[in-house]
Amino acid sequence: MLFLTVLEWTKMRRSRFFKVLLLFLAIGTIGYYIYIYSNTVRTEEILSNLEVELLSTESQLVELEQQDQDGSLDQSSKNVLKIYHDSVPQLKAQIEGIDTGNWTLWAKANREFQKFDTSFATKPEWERTYPTRFTQDSHQSFLEWLEQRNIEPVWPMYVWLTSYDEVFDEGLEPIIRGNVDKRHGSNGSYFSYHLFNHLFTFIGIVFFMFLFSDIITKEGEGRNGPIHLLRTLPINRNAVLLSKFISVLLMTIGILAVVLILATLLGTLFDRFGDWDYPILIYGENYTFEWIPLGLFLLKSAGLFLLGLVFSYSILFFFSVLTNRAIIAIGITLTLLFLGNAWAEQSILSENAHLIPFHYLNVYTIVSNDFAVIQDNFAFSFKNGVLSLSIASLAILLMTCVLSIFRYRTRG
Amino acid sequence: MIINVKDLKKQYKKQEVLKGIDIQVESPQILALVGPNGAGKTTLMNCMMNLLSFNEGSIELLGKKHTDTSIFHNVSYMQDNRILYGDLTAYDHLQFICNIQKLHTSRIQAVADRVGMASYLKKRVRSFSLGMKQHLLLAMSIISEPKLLLMDEPINGLDPTSAINMRNILLELNAEGTTILISSHNLDEIDRLTSTIYFMKNGELLKESLDDFATNNYTLRVSHPVMAQQVLNERGLTFQMTDFESVSFEETIQPLHIVLETLYNHHIQVLSVQNERVGAERRYRELFESELSS
C-alpha cells in the first residue's frame, strides 16, 4: 500500500498537467494577494480620519459651548452638545489605542462610541431593516472579543453587516455593501481566510477534480493501460483503489497546507502575521450567535471541503470503473456535479433538502450557518454536512467496489 | 509443474477464441507461441496472467492457482508497452517494481546495464522510441529474476543489436532456470531460441518439436559461380543463385555433401559456407498455407 501511494506521488510529481495547474494556483494566490494588499485600508488612514473627526468634533463642540454660554441653544442642540462632549474622550481613546497599538483601549472606546446610536437595542429581533438588532448586538459582541484579546481589527470598522440585514434606507445599500466588500486584510491569517473563501467552493472542487483527474483515471481500469502492470504484480486488487484514494486525499491536504503557508508567508512578509483567534461570526437559531477563532473556522472549513472532495472523487472513481475511459469519467462526473448542484437548488424547500450532499460544497456559508439563515433552515448545519457527505461518499465507494468486483469477474 | 493449463476454453461474443488449450511444462525451458494475428496468443497469455477470465478449464502456475496474486513474486509478464506510465522515468518504473517485489534498488543499475538502457534510465517514457520501451519492459520483467516469464511480442521494434542482446539474455535466463513462454512473429528469432513451438490456429494449439522439422539453409560462396551453376544444373540439383556469386539450397531438398562433391569434382572452390536453421518458418508455411496464399 505504501509503495502504491509512493507511485501515485511520483506520478503527480512528474505530471506536467499537474505542475501547470499548481503553478496556476500559486500565481492565482499571489495575484489575489496583490489585489487584497492594494485594497487593504491601512491603520494610518483610519488614524488620520479619526484625527480629522476629532478636530471637527472639537471645533463644533467649542462653537456649541459658545452658543450654550450665550443661551442661544435649543434643546435638540443641547443633546448634540452632550453627545459631542462625550464623544471627544472616546475619539481620543480610539486615537491613542490605534497610535499605541493598544487594541483593547481602541475596542472599548469604539464599543462605547457605537452605543450613541439611539436605536441600539430598541428594535424587535425579527425586523429586517438595517441595522437589525442582530447586527447591532453582534457588532458589540465582536468588539468585546477584540477588546478581551487585544486584537487589531480589519478595517474599515464603521460598517457592520449581517445576513439579517435586508431592508435599507433608500440609496444606502450599495454604500454599506460596498464598504463591507472593501474590508480586506492583507495580514497573513486574514488573507488566508479570504483566499480559502474562494477555494472552498464548488469552483475549488472542480479545480481539484481537474488536478487529480488524470492521476485517478490514468490506469484506465479494464483496458490495456498501466492497470495491467499493477494486476501482474503481487498487489492486492483493492489496495490499488484504496491507495489512489488515500494518495489523492493526502495530496489535497498537502496542497491546501502549501497554499495556507504561501498565503500566510505573503501576508507576514508584506504586512504582518495577524491573529488566528480573529473572531468569525457563526449564526445560531432564534437570532443567537457565537464567535469562533479564525483558525478553528478554517480547520472546520477545510474538513468539510475535504469531505466534499471525497464525495466528488468517489463519483469520479465510480464512473472511472463504469466507463473504463478517463476522459468520459471526468466529463460525466463534472456534469453530474453541476446537475446535482442545480437539482439541490431546485429542491431547497423540500423537507429532506438538508440530506442532499450537493448543498454542502460551498463550505464557508455552511460552517458560518449563513446558508441556514438565508434558507431559514438550520438543518443545513456543519454536522449534517459532515454526515450527508460522508454517507453519500461511503455509499458511492461501496457501489464502486461492488462494480469493480463485478467487472473484474466478467472481464474480457 | 511450472505451467499446467488444462482444457482452457474461452468464448467472446459467441465466438470460441480458445478451444480447449492444454500446456504442461515440468522443467525450465523456452517455449514459443506462434500464430497469425487473431489466433488467440495474447488472449491465452492474458488468461494465464489472470487479466482475462475464461469459460472452462484450469490454470496453475508454479503449482498455484493463477488467481493467487502471490505467484507474481515468481512470474513476470512482458506485455504491451501501453502498461507504461508516460510521465514516469524508466528508473521510476523499475524502482516501483523493486519496492513491490521487496528487492534492493541496486538491481536497477545492474538490469539497465544488462538490457542496454543505462543511458536513458532517468528519461521519461513519453520520449522513448518503441525499441527503448521494449528495453524497459524487458528490464521490468526480468529484474525480479522470475521462475516463469511470459513475453508477448518482445522483439517488436528492436534493432538487430537489441534483438541479439535480448536473445542472449533469454538464453542466459533459461540457463539459470527460468521458463520462458514467448509469442512472436519473428520466426528466425524463434528458431534461434527454442525448438519447442506451440502453433496457434483459430484458438487451437498444436505442439511441435522443431527438431522434427528443422532444416538448414546453406549458402556457399564459390570461386566460379557461372561454372558452378552449369555443373549443378547438369547434375539435376535444385538450388538458387544469390548475388551472382553464391549458391543457396535447403538441406532437406538438397543434401550438402552431394553439392560439395559435385563442386569438388569440377575443381570449383568453396570460399565460404553459411548455415541458417529454418524450422519454424518451414512448419509455419505448412500449417498456415491457406493464410499465406490468401
Say whether B51 and A232 touch across the interface (CB within 8 A): yes
Give the percent of chain A with pLDDT over 70.
95
Which of A3, A225, A232 faces B82 most closely, judged by CB atoms? A225
Per the CB < 8 A criterion, the answer to whether A392 and A386 are in contact is no
**A15, A224, A233 ranked by CB distance to B100: nearest:** A233
CA distance A412 to chain B (A): 5
Mean of the per-residue pLDDT values for chain B?
A: 86
Q: How far is CA A27 from CA A30, A33, A39, A207, B280, in A?
A: 5, 10, 18, 14, 63
Identify whether residues A67 and A159 lie together within a single domain: yes
A324 touches chain B (CB under 8 A): no
Domain boundary among A153, A183, A213: A183
Which of B12, B51, B53 shows the shortest C-beta gap to A231?
B51
* Chain A contact set for B97 (CB, 8 A): 233
Residues A101, A13: one domain? no
pLDDT in tens, A77-133: 888 888 888 889 989 999 999 999 999 999 998 888 777 665 555 678 888 888 888
Range of the domain at A102: 43-183
Per-residue model confidence (pLDDT) at position B293: 59
Contact (CB<8Å) A226/B83:
yes
Q: Could you say which of B10, B88, B99 has the minimum Cβ distance to residue A11?
A: B88
pLDDT interval class at A222 (50, 70, 90): very low
**B52 touches A: beta carbon within 8 Å:** yes
Q: Rounded to whole angstroms, how far apart are CA atoms A344 and A209?
A: 20
The per-residue pLDDT for range B248-285, each reduced to its tens digit, is 877 767 778 888 888 888 888 888 888 776 666 767 77
Q: How close is the nearest chain A Cα to the Cα of B49, in Å?
A: 7
pTM exceeding the 0.90 threshold for the entire prediction: no
Q: How many domains does chain A fold into?
A: 2
Residues of B (65-104) whose Cβ lies below 8 Å from A: 69-73, 75-77, 79-80, 82-85, 87-89, 92, 96-97, 99-101
CA distances from A273 to A35, A99, A124, A192, A266 (A): 18, 19, 40, 11, 9
Which of B46, B75, B92 is nearest residue A10 as measured by Cβ atoms?
Answer: B92
Q: CA nearest A141: which of A294, A298, A290?
A: A290
A152 and A263 assigned to the same domain? no
| Chain B nearest CA to A230, separation (Å) | 9
| Interface membership of B264 toward A (CB under 8 Å) | no
Is A151 in a helix, a strand, or coil?
Answer: coil
Most B CBs within 10 Å: which of A228, A232, A243, as the mutation test of the B interface? A232
Q: What are residue B56's phi and psi, to 5 degrees?
A: -140, 160
Cell 466507463 found at: A323
Nearest CB to A235 within list B89, B92, B100 = B100
Residues A251 and A396 in one domain: yes
Indicate whether A167 and A196 sit together in one domain: no
State whether A214 and A259 are in the same domain.
yes
CB atoms within 10 A of CB A131: 22
| Length of chain A (residues) | 412
Inter-chain contacts counted by CB atoms under 8 A, chains A and B = 80
Q: Which one of B50, B53, B96 has the shortest CB-CB distance to A7?
A: B96
Q: What distance in Å separates the CA atoms of residue A216 and residue A252, rounded to the nearest whole number? A: 13
The two beta strands, B246-250 and B240-242, are antiparallel
A100 CA to chain B: closest CA distance, Å? 57
pLDDT, average across residues A173-201: 89
Per CB-CB distance under 8 Å, the chain A contacts of B71 are 234
pLDDT for A205 beyond 80 = yes
Measured in whole angstroms, the distance separating CA B68 from the mean position of its chain's CA atoms is 27
Q: Are residues A203 and A114 in the same domain?
A: no
In angstroms, the CA B289 to CA B153 distance is 22
User: A263 with A178, same domain?
Assistant: no
- Please, what is the average pLDDT of chain A? 88
Whole-angstrom CA distances from A14 to A9, A208, A289, B71 are: 9, 17, 48, 31
pLDDT band per the 50, 70, 90 thresholds, residue A141:
very high
Specify whether A204 is located in the same domain as A346: yes
Q: Judge whether B215 and B279 are in contact, CB under 8 Å.
A: yes
The maximal CA–CA distance of chain A, rounded, in angstroms, is 104
Domain boundary, last residue among A145, A166, A183: A183
| Number of neighbours of residue A89 by Cβ within 10 angstroms | 11
A338 and A194 within one domain = yes
Instruction: Name the one residue in this structure whose C-alpha cell is 502549501.
Output: A258
CB-based contact, A272 to chain B, within 8 Å: no
Which residues of chain B carry a pLDDT beneath 50? none
pLDDT at position A240? 80
A238 touches chain B (CB under 8 A): no
Give the Å distances, CA to CA, from A262 to A185, A265, A278, A304.
15, 5, 19, 21
Per DSSP bridges, beta strands B3-12 and B56-61 are antiparallel
Give alpha helix (H) positions in A271-381. 294-323, 326-346, 363-367, 370-375
pLDDT confidence of residue A223: 57
Helix (H, G, I), strand (E, B) or coil at B31: strand
Q: ipTM value, please give it.
A: 0.78
List helix spans (H) across B159-241: 160-175, 187-193, 225-234
| Secondary structure class of A138 (helix, strand, coil) | helix
- Do B249 and B238 touch, CB atoms closer than 8 A? yes
> In this structure, are A47 and A103 located in the same domain?
yes
B chain contacts of residue A240, beta-carbon cutoff 8 Å: none
Is any Cβ of chain A less than 8 angstroms from the Cβ of B55? no
A176 and A193: one domain? Answer: no
The identity of residue A213, as a single letter, is S
Domain edge (last residue) among A183, A202, A218: A183
